Amino acid sequence: MAAQVSVELFGSLTQFTGGARTVTVEAATIRDLLARLAEAHPGLAPQLDRGVSVSIDGKIYTEALFQPISPDSEVVLLPRIAGG
């Protein structure tokens, strides 16, 4: 049973959430989170398709769709992190 998770978005995404900086969706994993976000806020879909990283309690995940998220976790959406 998935719980409600609060996700902090980065500033430029707030134009697609009616200005909300933090949105709440029902999610148990990163996969759920991304799917629910796209459903609830279709304007986010292009950015989600281009790729994002998700920070859960300060640890940044770039690929791990099945990473569990607990309801009290601090969750932050980030652009996809890469490197040189």
Residue 44 · residue 38 · CB < 8 Å: yes
In the list 58, 70, 71, 72, the residue contacting another protein (rule: CB under 8 A) is: 58
Half-sphere exposure of 63 (CA within 13 A, CB side): 1
1 forms part of the interface with another protein (CB under 8 A): no
60 forms part of the interface with another protein (CB under 8 A): yes
Secondary structure class of 9 (helix, strand, coil): coil
d(CA 50, CA 64): 16
Phi–psi pair at 60, nearest 5 degrees: -95, 125
In the list 1, 4, 18, 82, the residue contacting another protein (rule: CB under 8 A) is: 82
In the list 6, 17, 29, 67, the residue contacting another protein (rule: CB under 8 A) is: 67
| Chain residues 21-40 in contact with another protein, contact rule CB under 8 A | none
Which residues contribute to the site for another protein (CB under 8 A)?
A: 8, 10-13, 15-16, 43, 46-47, 55, 57-64, 67, 74, 76-79, 81-84
